Amino acid sequence: MNLLESLRTAYRGLIANKLRSTLTMLGIIIGVGAVVAMISIGTGASDFATSRIKELGSNILFISPGSPGGQGFGGARGAEGTQESLDQKDAEAIKDGISTIKKVSPEYTSGAQVIYKKQNTNTSIVGATSTYEDVHNFHIGSGSFIDESDQKTTKRVAVLGTNVVTDLFGKSNAIGQTIKIKSIPFKVIGVMEEKGQSGFQNLDNQIFIPLSAAQKRLFGAKHLSTISIQAKNEEVMDQASEDIEALLLERHEIENADEADFRIRSQAEILDTMSQVTGTLTILLGGIAAISLIVGGIGIMNIMLVSVTERTREIGLRKAVGAKKRDILAQFLIESVLLSLLGGAIGLGLGWGGSVLISRIGGWPSIISLNSVLLAFFFAVAIGVFFGVWPARRASNLNPIEALRFE
Amino acid sequence: MVEAEAEEGADHLARHTNTVIEAKDLVKTYGTGDTKVDALKGVSLNIKEGEFVAIMGPSGSGKSTLMHLLGCLDQSTSGTYKLDGSTIKDLNDNDLARIRNEKIGFIFQQFNLLPRTSSLENVMLPFTYTGHANKNARKQAEETLRSVGLGKHFYKRPSELSGGEQQRVAISRAMINNPSIILADEPTGALDTKTGIEVLNIFQKLNKEGKTIILITHERDIAAFAKRRIHLRDGLVESDSAKKKKEIIEST
């Protein structure tokens, strides 16, 4: 019996029981879908992490305010970063007092509504200084970035991320125009290069203004939301981190390091946290995948056993007209593989769509690789063969006389 | 091709020389010890090419067992069986399957057509298992269907055909590989008398063309269409007689 005919026979068998076939495939669909989503998110996240480290270098430290109520137990604690414990003086003290660091970028970030003519958008406003560009390795695309005199004179100038430009100006030129942030006019002096997604945040969706302007003119704040620090090189990172901690504890008059009102993290640590999250998600999806593949496989086996019983007379007849054991075996095996392969294909599509959706919604990078496609098909075929062999063997071992008599 | 076969068949009919089935002292025992059942206790019979034989007997007489042995669905416990010159003994399942495919055409009481499958494809089913491509498969199937009067039903499915028509599709399927014998097991059992007779007339027509037909039945009226009748009782041949022309119901 040639393969094409076997496929046709198998296809006919599946079509004859559309609903049953679809329900049977469901387990495989979910399983393969989960496998594909898992791999695409996994590779996406690790690709992202490595590219970020490559891009930023592994010599970046971030200092963020701690949560009110300290790090101890008991009492209600505010969210991390909500404490107003860092200020410009801390940043200057770090810059002046620590020898292992190269650049310091104090930042104040908050959300606000931005208006240009009739267009408006809600975006994050980053109060930054001239050091921001180098520390974040995020540079100006056209025009100029905030310089020291802008900072000193609290000048109302703004540098836009590319997304903001598109939102507010469409395709027309933004530089030289005036936008209003919280009703205060700012002149656009530059547009950043395109950077894309970073973790949960889209870097192109920001507006940069002088730190002083953000603090004094817009938000009336004295504190900072982050101090980003570039160490001299990777080797001195630990030293720098320790020195900064000691300095800030001293400045904030805190004796016990456990009660620190700030937190120092490296880029690597942040990426670690992120990869822990993706790791958890991967394990979760992997679990779902494994369970639904097994359940799906059992479903296929079950349906194939039913099908063998239902078609006992057909098997008897095929044997009577000359089908050998291996013909019958092949016929039922092909049917179960076709079933799981079809499920695999649908699952692949859903997994693909799902991971694209996740990356859209969660700002999560996802990559569909040839590997995941191959793996999905491998799993599908393996499941089809593994769970199809037993029913198929049962069919092929039927005694033709008894099979023909079967009612 | 079919004409050539018909000629060849007619030739054999005239000479009646080739012995298709040679069975000697066939014994078939099922089970062991206390549950041992001797279904056949030593059956010998020869059937020549072009014969139309009815094997009769009440249930339990061993006629089904004999059919299984003759049809190579099973092998005897002892005794010898030669089909078309080759000895059927100690063969494995695959060899038996090949012999069934090449030398035997089965016709069953319940037709056993594949559901949701056209008449043409049902008829071509044995080709699926011959192991080599057959370019003329379709043409042969069409001709065979035409020869049983189903020229207009190539693409109908079994559910769209009457019982008699379904059985004729089954007959076409049995003939397609030009087998040495056609084994029909109660072929009219599921049909009304009129269609049953039509089917039997087809058998007679095929027999005239030279086909060797073995009809298994418990009904005397059905057996009356055959030229030779073998009665079985308790696993033994009770009588074996060729009938004179006037004793055979002839199709008109």
Q: B221-229 long-range contacts, Cβ below 8 Å, gap at least 24?
A: B222/B54, B222/B188, B222/B196, B223/B54, B223/B56, B224/B248, B224/B249, B225/B52, B225/B54, B225/B200, B225/B249, B226/B52, B226/B53, B226/B54, B227/B51, B227/B52, B227/B53, B228/B51, B228/B52, B228/B53, B228/B54, B229/B53, B229/B54, B229/B56
β-strands A119-128, A262-266: how paired?
unpaired
pLDDT at B4 over 60: no
**pLDDT given at position A35:** 82
Nearest CA in chain B to A404: B112
Task: For residues A223 and A244, give the distance between their C-alpha atoms in angstroms, rounded to a whole number.
Answer: 18
Q: What is the pLDDT of residue A67?
A: 65
User: For residue B185, what are the β-bridge partners?
Assistant: B216
Query: Domain of B63: which CATH number?
Result: 3.40.50.300
Per residue in B70-90, pLDDT tens? Answer: 999 999 999 999 999 889 988
Place of tokens 């560009």: A133
For residue B201, being part of any structural domain is answered with yes
Tell whether B60 is covered by a domain.
yes
In chain A, which residues have their Cβ closer than 8 Å to the Cβ of B68?
Answer: 401
Query: What is the complex's ipTM, to 2 decimals?
Result: 0.89
B108–A404 C-beta distance less than 8 A: yes
pLDDT band at A388 (very low <50, low <70, confident <90, very high): very high
- Parallel/antiparallel/unpaired status of strands A140-143 and A119-128: unpaired
Phi, psi of B54 (to 5 degrees): -110, 130
Query: Is the CB of B117 less than 8 angstroms away from the CB of A12?
Result: yes
Mean pLDDT of A256-272: 82
Whether chain B has a CB inside 8 Å of the CB on A316: the answer is yes
Q: Are A231 and A265 in contact (CB under 8 A)?
A: no
The answer to whether the CB atoms of A321 and B114 lie below 8 A apart is: no
What pLDDT does A377 receive? 82
A73 pLDDT above the threshold of 60: no
Place of tokens 């063309």: B209
| Domain span including residue B161 | 2-247
Nearest residue of chain A to residue B72 (CA atoms): A320
B174, part of any domain: yes
Instruction: Mark yes or no for CB contact A321/B126 under 8 Å.
Output: yes
CB within 8 A of A309, min separation 6: which ones? none
Helix and strand element counts for chain A (H, E): 13, 12
Check residue A365 and give its pLDDT.
66
User: Looking at the domain assignment, is residue B252 inside a domain?
Assistant: no
User: CA-to-CA distance for A316 and A100, rounded, in angstroms?
Assistant: 84
Alpha helix stretches (DSSP H) within A57-142:
88-97, 132-136
Strand order in the sheet with B37-48: B37-48, B19-30, B78-83, B86-87
If one counts the domains in chain B, the total is: 1
User: CA-CA distances (angstroms) from residue A189 to A144, A150, A182?
Assistant: 6, 11, 18
Q: Say which range, A70-79, A144-153, A302-311, B162-171, has the weakest mean pLDDT.
A: A70-79
Q: CA angle, B86 as apex, B82 and B89 as ends, to 5°?
A: 65
Distance from CA of B129 to the nearest CA of A (A): 5
B58 lies in a domain? yes
CA nearest neighbour of A365 among A140, A198, A159: A198
Neighbours of A291 (CB within 10 A): 14
Q: Tokens 């953000």 belong to which residue?
A: A214
pLDDT in tens, A112-158: 999 998 888 889 999 999 999 988 888 999 999 999 999 999 999 99
Query: What is the chain B residue with the closest CA to A14?
Result: B116
Query: CA of A319: which chain B residue's CA is closest?
Result: B97
Backbone angles phi, psi at A181, to 5 degrees: -110, 120
pLDDT at A1: 56
Question: Chain B residues with CB-CB distance to A under 8 A?
Answer: 68, 71, 73-74, 93-94, 97-98, 100-102, 106, 108, 110, 112, 114-117, 125-126, 128-130, 133, 173
